[in-house]
Amino acid sequence: MDSRDAMMSRHLFLAAVAAVISITSAGYADTITGTYTAINAGTGPYMPTINDDGGAFLPSPFSETLGVGVTTTPSTFLQVAPISGGSGTLSGSVDIAMKLSEGAGSAITGVTTSAGGNTAFASNGTLYFAANYDIFYGSQTDCITWNASSCTSTNNTTTIGETLKVSFADGALLDINLYNWSDWNMQPDISFDLVSGAGVPVPEPASLAIFATALAGLWMVRRRQAGHS
């Protein structure tokens, strides 16, 4: 093997190793645990009732084992039901306090929101955020939205209104997706996406291509060496 072949083999080998490290990080799993409460912050006599811990709803406390880059299947977060007998239009909010920890107990250090999302903040390991709540008794429509949008249609159950981007003290990053809902007896969904675990880089989609290219290059070098022998 001449010096050029040796150098090429070394570079391709290092590229393959780097790709393997990035690829295997995608299989990294971590556990998020938490508790939460939801309260009606409206002021009218016909503001909704809230069920935040029962039946198929996200329990409190809860535990989610997450793989890096794998979004969980959306699940019911809570139930917001209007009180009958009202009239006109009423607006309020549903306020959430969610205490989260990651891994061996790493606490929240900060949160940012997706474009257009309602304000959220973190304090002492607890995440605070809120949804808008609107009731239109005349059209028998109501909605819960996690962004500035208001009720524009009924049966909206699939739109992500806001994504909370949460950071932890050990470096882990978590996305919390909050889904809007329209029409009576709403059960908005929530899903989680572990962007990166503690000390684990965010997986790069190009890693597989890099790995394949490196392996092909190594094969070509070996074939060249065999032809020279």
| Domain boundary assignment for the chain | 1-26+203-229, 30-202
When mean pLDDT is compared across 15-19, 159-163, 187-191, the lowest value belongs to 15-19
- The helix/strand/coil state of 9 is helix
Q: Give me the mean pLDDT over the 155-183 stretch.
A: 91
Q: Give me the mean pLDDT over the 105-121 stretch.
A: 92
**Under the phi-then-psi rule, with left for phi > 0, alpha for psi from -120 to 50, and beta for the rest, what region is 103?**
left
Q: Is residue 20 scored above 50 in pLDDT? A: no
Which residues, 6 or more positions from 212, have their beta carbon under 8 angstroms from its beta carbon? none
CA distance 17 to 52: 47
CA distance 8 to 181: 56
CA distance 107 to 217: 45
Name the phi and psi angles at 193, rounded to 5: -140, 110
pLDDT at residue 176, rounded to an integer: 96
With beta carbons less than 8 A apart as the criterion, state whether 133 and 91 touch.
yes
Q: Give me the mean pLDDT over the 124-135 stretch.
A: 93
Tens of pLDDT, residues 2-12: 555 555 555 54
Name the phi and psi angles at 169, rounded to 5: -60, -30
- Roughly how many angstroms between the first and final C-alpha of the chain, as a whole number? 9
Residue whose entry in the numeric block shows the structure tokens 């009720």: 151
Longest CA–CA span in the chain (Å) reads: 91
Q: What is the mean pLDDT of the chain?
A: 78
DSSP-assigned letter for residue 57: S
Written as one letter, the residue type at 69 is G
User: CA distances (Å), 99 to each of 11, 63, 75, 92, in order?
Assistant: 46, 12, 18, 23
Q: Which of 164, 145, 51 is nearest to 92 (CA)?
A: 145
**Under the phi-then-psi rule, with left for phi > 0, alpha for psi from -120 to 50, and beta for the rest, what region is 124?**
left
15-25: b (≥16 Cβ within 10 Å) or e? bbeebeebeeb
